[in-house]
C-alpha cells in the first residue's frame, strides 16, 4: 500500500475521510505520520483515536519557512514516506518552499474548497458565494510554490444559489471534498496520474483515460 503523510492545521475532517476509506479497504494506503502545525488541531485527536503516529511542528518555533520545511521533510522521511510515498495537505494552511517540494517532487497534493484557479486562499467557500457564482466546488491538485496552485488532478462541482453564503456552501463542498481526496490518493497509488506540464492525465492500464474505446 501507498505510504502517506497527512498534514493538517485544523479539524481534520478530510484526514478522517482518508482514515475511513483506508479502514473500509477501498483506499490502499497507510498513514505513516500526521503532522499538525497547530497544537490544538482536532486532527491530532483523530490521530490518537486511531493509533496513528503524529507530530506537532509549530512553525512559530522556526526562524524561517525554510527551517520549518526542512524539519517537516525530516520527520516525514523518518516516518517512512520517501520516494515511493505521497504527502497530502488536508487543510494544512501553510505555503511550502522549494526546500519541501524539492524533497518530494511531484509527490505533494492539496485540497482546496473552490474551483481553482478561482478563489484561492483561506476563505474559498465564502469568497465564491459572495462573488455570486452559480457553481463552485473543490479541487485536488499537485502543489507548487504558490498558494493553492499547481496541476489539477480532480475537481468536484456543487451548485450555488442566490442568497447562499459561505456557511451554507461550505458544508456542501466539504462533503464532496471527503469523496474526491481519497479518490485522488488512490489514483496516485495506482500510478494512474501522469503530469504533462500543467496537465494531469488520468490513465487506465497505462493509456490515457480519454482514448479508451
Of the candidates 112, 127, 129, 182, which one interacts with ligand GAR according to CB under 6 A?
112
CA distance 211 to 30: 32
CA separation for the pair 90, 102 (Å, rounded): 20
Q: What is the DSSP string of 53-105?
A: -EEE--GGGSSSHHHHHHHHHHHHHHTT-STT-EEEESS------HHHHHHTT
Grid cell digits, residue 188 = 496516485
Burial (CB count <10 Å: 0-12, 13-18, 19+), residue 172 = middle
Q: How far apart are CA 76 and CA 120, in angstroms?
A: 26
Residues 135-154 as x/- pattern, contact with ligand GAR by CB under 6 A: -------------x------
The verdict on whether residue 110 carries a ligand-binding annotation is yes
50, 59, 112, 199: the catalytic one is: 112
If binding means CB under 6 A, how many residues of this protein chain bind ligand GAR? 16
195 assigned ligand-binding residue: no
Q: In the set 10, 53, 80, 82, which binds ligand GAR (CB under 6 A)?
A: 10
Of these, 35, 174, 180, 185, which contacts ligand GAR (CB under 6 A)?
A: 174
Which of 4, 7, 14, 31 touches ligand GAR (CB under 6 A)? 14
- Toward ligand GAR, which CB reaches closer, 10 or 80? 10
Angle at which helices 166-189 and 13-24 pack, to 10 degrees? 40
Query: Closest distance between ligand GAR and the C-beta of residue 88, in Å?
Result: 10
12 is in an annotated binding site: yes
Q: Based on the shown chain and the rule CB under 6 A, indicate whether residue 177 belongs to the binding site for ligand GAR.
A: yes
From first CA to last CA, the distance across the chain in angstroms is 29
DSSP reduced 3-state for 40 = coil
Report in angstroms how near the CB of residue 104 gets to ligand GAR at its nearest: 18
Is 112 marked active-site?
yes
* Smallest distance, ligand GAR to C-beta of residue 144, A: 14
Tally of CB atoms within 10 A around 64: 11
Which residues bind to ligand GAR, rule: CB under 6 A? Answer: 8, 10-14, 90-91, 111-113, 122, 124, 148, 174, 177
* Residues that constitute the known binding site: 12-14, 65, 93-96, 110
Point out the annotated binding site for (6R)-10-formyltetrahydrofolate: 65, 93-96, 110
Amino acid at each position: 500500500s501507498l505510504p502517506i503523510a497527512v498534514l493538517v492545521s485544523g479539524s481534520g475532517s478530510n484526514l478522517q475521510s482518508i482514515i475511513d476509506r483506508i479502514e473500509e479497504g477501498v483506499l490502499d494506503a497507510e498513514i505513516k505520520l500526521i503532522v499538525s502545525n497547530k497544537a490544538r488541531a482536532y486532527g491530532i485527536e483523530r490521530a490518537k483515536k486511531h493509533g496513528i503516529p503524529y507530530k506537532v511542528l509549530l512553525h512559530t518555533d522556526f526562524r524561517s519557512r525554510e527551517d520549518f520545511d526542512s524539519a517537516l521533510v525530516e520527520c516525514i522521511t523518518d516516518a517512512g514516506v520517501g520516494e515511493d510515498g505521497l504527502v497530502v495537505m488536508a487543510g494544512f494552511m501553510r505555503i511550502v518552499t522549494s526546500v519541501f517540494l524539492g524533497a518530494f517532487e511531484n509527490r505533494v497534493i492539496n485540497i482546496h474548497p473552490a474551483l481553482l484557479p478561482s478563489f484561492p486562499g483561506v476563505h474559498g467557500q465564502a469568497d465564491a458565494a459572495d462573488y455570486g457564482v452559480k457553481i463552485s466546488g473543490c479541487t485536488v491538485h499537485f502543489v507548487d510554490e504558490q498558494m493553492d496552485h499547481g496541476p489539477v488532478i480532480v475537481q468536484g462541482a456543487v451548485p450555488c444559489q442566490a442568497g447562499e453564503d459561505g456557511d451554507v456552501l461550505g458544508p456542501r463542498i466539504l462533503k464532496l471534498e471527503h469523496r474526491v481526496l481519497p479518490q485522488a490518493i488512490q489514483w496516485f497509488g495506482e500510478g494512474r496520474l501522469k503530469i504533462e506540464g500543467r496537465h494531469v492525465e488520468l490513465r487506465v492500464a497505462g493509456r490515457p483515460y480519454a482514448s479508451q474505446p
